[in-house]
Each structure stands twice: as structure tokens, then as C-alpha cells.
Amino acid sequence: MVLVLTAPALASGPGAEVSADAALTMLQDGNARFAAGKPQHPHQDKARRVLTAAKGQAPFATILSCSDSRAPVELIFDQGVGDLFVVRVAGNVAGVDEIASMEYAADHLHTPLLVILGHSKCGAVTAVVEKAPLHGNLASLASKIKPAVFKARMAHRDLSGDALLAAAVKANVQQALADLLVRSIIIKDLVKAGKLKVLGAIYDLASGKVEWLEPQPEAKESVGGKAGAK
């Protein structure tokens, strides 16, 4: 018999008792099921919908991800209604609105784990790498990605094409992590208190697998935190 760790069956209000390590395991196990083509689709029935409507939400993780239609977060991690607090924006950038949304989840809903999720072949990152002409408000969004692309170019002067894009996607996740910790005292204090763990990850569109990133040396102390048990 295989024991599958799932989110709390009852939405008992803000802050279901789940540690950061347990939350990470649930995401990893769910992604493994999804990538293998064996999702269980937990918490997606009428009973779950009615329960969360009546009792409130208690998501076990907050995830900032790209808006790309090929990267549906709940499906990627094989989770259901009320399990994840998802913030989606093109390029998974951490701007004011995105950070405010993550602060709400971490400080008010008490999610123990926060993940910045990038993905392969990201269109927003590609546009910056290729210096594509951008119109309307896209230029403002791209400005949040440019520092990451610059860092990727400087660190990998020998790369071009898909290899450079992959490096830029990774750097963009790390940039969002840095922006979040610099601009949010709330998030930073929760991490320091051991109440929140923050990680970066990259979803591969082709394989369906999520790669978990190690914190950068300069951010390890702030990002790693403790286990994050609440």
C-alpha cells in the first residue's frame, strides 16, 4: 500500500498545520504523479468545493508563476480546490501587486511555503533575450526581467539560443526571489522567524517535471530559513 501525503481534508481556516517540509513533499509528490501521467486529482469534487466555500481556505503553499497557458499550476502539482494560493503573471515577476498577494497568503493565510515557479521557453523572458519590440504595458513588465537577462549574459558569455534562454529563465526566478525579499519586510521577517520557507523552481514544458533550485550564496541565509513548521 502506497501512502500519499495530501493537504488537510478540512479547510479549518487560515493556517492548516502543515510544515514547509511537508508542503514541499506534497508538491514534489504531486508533480511526480503529473509527470508520470498518473494524477489523482485530489480535492476537485463537489464536496471539496462546498466545504471550502463554507469553512474558508487553508492553502498549504503560495506559488508565484507565469501566466503561460501551458503551465497550469494546480495540474502541475496535482492539487485541488483550496490547496494552493496561486499568483500568476507573465514572466513570474515580483512586482508590487504580486508581492502584496504573496504577503496576504503568507501573513494572513499562514502558508508555510512560498515558491517562485518559472518555466522553460518562457515567452516573456524570450522577448527580453531577443530584444523584441514591446508595446503598451509590456515594456514595463519586461523591465523587471531585464536585470536577470543581463546577469545571465554576463555569467554565461559563451551561451546563445536555447541555452542562453534556459540560463535567463533560471536567473529570472532568482531575480524574483531577490526582489521579493528586498521589497517585502513581511516576507523577510516571516522567513527569519522560521515561519516561511521560500524556494525557486523551474517547470519543464516537455517533461512535465519541476526542477527545484538551490538558493544563491548571497541569499541562502535569508531564503533558506528553518523548516518552517507553523
The enclosing domain of 168 has a CATH number of 3.40.1050.10
CA dihedral 167, 173, 176, 181 (to 10 degrees): -110
pLDDT of the residue at 17: 79
pLDDT of the residue at 25: 97
Separation of alpha carbons 49 and 55, rounded Å? 10
Q: Is there a domain that residue 113 lies in?
A: yes
pLDDT of the residue at 167: 98
Range of the domain at 30: 20-213
Q: Is there a domain that residue 7 lies in?
A: no
Task: Give the chain's domain count.
Answer: 1
Q: Is there a domain that residue 222 lies in?
A: no
Would the CA dihedral through 47, 49, 53, 59 be positive or negative?
A: positive
Three-state secondary-structure class, residue 173? helix
Q: Is there a domain that residue 230 lies in?
A: no
pLDDT of the residue at 11: 46
Q: Which three cell numbers stand for residue 176?
A: 524574483
Strands 210-213 and 197-203, how do they pair?
Answer: antiparallel
Separation of alpha carbons 64 and 36, rounded Å? 24
Q: Which three cell numbers stand for residue 45?
A: 469534487
Low-confidence spans in the chain with pLDDT less than 70: 1-16, 215-230
Q: Which three cell numbers stand for residue 107?
A: 501573513
CA dihedral 147, 148, 154, 157 (to 10 degrees): -140
pLDDT of the residue at 78: 98
Q: Is there a domain that residue 44 lies in?
A: yes
pTM of the prediction?
A: 0.88
Residues 6+ apart with CB under 8 A from 36: none
Q: Is there a domain that residue 181 lies in?
A: yes
